[in-house]
Amino acid sequence: MELSIDRLTKHYGHKIAVDRVSATLTPGVYGLLGANGAGKTTLMRMLCSILEPTSGEVRLNGKDVAGMGAAYRDVLGYLPQDFGYYPTYTAAEFLSYIAALKGIPRDWAGKRVKDLLDTLDLTPVADKKIRTFSGGMKQRVGVAQALLNDPQILILDEPTSGLDPKERVRLRNLLSEYAGDKIVILSTHIVSDVEAIADQVFVMNAGQFIMRGTVPELAQKVAGKVWELTVPREKARLWQEQVTVANYRHEGEQVVLRILSDDRPSAEAVACEPILDDAYLYYFGAKEA
């Protein structure tokens, strides 16, 4: 299976939301990383065929998905960023409804709904109305509906938003396990989510992929540019104003700063092994990120 994105572009009047983006995706987990407004959601909506591109196309195994209609939607699972639900439905009813919309046979749908409720730890609240759920629980219902038809292409827009750390880890594990021979694309601005599970990461800015590669490859792009410097607490703020500080950690009366800089910022600074966070911050700058 191959999902190709060919010079995909979306204009809103004079504003360019996505600008000639191209990629070829084969089974695996893909992380789409970018600040708010980078174009991630627009790209995902075009991948789902919800939004018509201004130009370019998305092809599944060589076929333009715009012309595939139901055949494409049959292999697609999507969690929108602003996941909507019917407040008066219970989790089980909502999933059954979406299962019917996805054309899943009734007997299989019942079993699938039960399994997913179990997998996403929603069984105890399966018969409670969704409007009574916490943000994290609603998000899990959203993930469950995306997985209902066992999609070959799973697109999740900000799936970890609203989840507590335990739920995030559980979801990451679930997606890793699920991927196998499927294409999973998840967008986020939380670097650690991508770092943990993505086989490939696309970093987006101003509607374009500005970086792509595996997590170590991207991290290596800032090799030799990550430093740790221990300074007295009163000088920490001064350093923050002068350089990009990726992390700020107290150690007694001292503060350990993780600094991103092309040159060694101080004779006392020690070079560090870079991580994806560093690369992301280096290219976006602390403020933009």
Residues in the chain: 289
Closest distance to another protein from the beta carbon of 35 (Å):
22
Angle of helix 91-101 relative to helix 135-147, nearest 10 degrees, comes to 30
Rounded to an integer, what distance in angstroms lies between the CA atom of residue 109 and that of residue 100? 8
Residues 77-116: x where in contact with another protein by CB under 8 A, - otherwise, as a string: xx-x-xxxxxxxx---x--xxx-xxxx--x----------
Tell me if 16 contacts another protein by CB under 8 A.
no
What residue type is assigned to position 124 of the chain?
A: P
Closest distance to another protein from the beta carbon of 90 (Å):
10
CA nearest to 153, candidates 44, 230, 254: 44
Q: Which is nearer to another protein, 78 or 282 (CB)?
A: 78
Long-range contacts of 174-181 (CB under 8 A, 24+ apart): 174/119, 174/120, 174/143, 175/29, 176/29, 178/147, 178/154, 179/27, 179/28, 179/29, 180/27, 181/1, 181/27
Residues 238-277: x where in contact with another protein by CB under 8 A, - otherwise, as a string: ----------------------------------------
Q: Which is nearer to another protein, 96 or 188 (CB)?
A: 96
Rounded to an integer, what distance in angstroms lies between the CA atom of residue 182 and that of residue 184? 6
Closest distance to another protein from the beta carbon of 41 (Å):
10
Rounded to an integer, what distance in angstroms lies between the CA atom of residue 122 and that of residue 92? 9
Closest distance to another protein from the beta carbon of 67 (Å):
12
Closest distance to another protein from the beta carbon of 60 (Å):
14
Angle of helix 106-119 relative to helix 135-147, nearest 10 degrees, comes to 140
Q: What is the total count of residues that contact another protein (CB under 8 A)?
A: 33
Residues numbered 131-170 forming contacts with another protein, rule: CB under 8 A: 145, 149
Binding site for another protein (CB under 8 A): 45, 48-52, 69-70, 73-74, 76-78, 80, 82-89, 93, 96-98, 100-103, 106, 145, 149
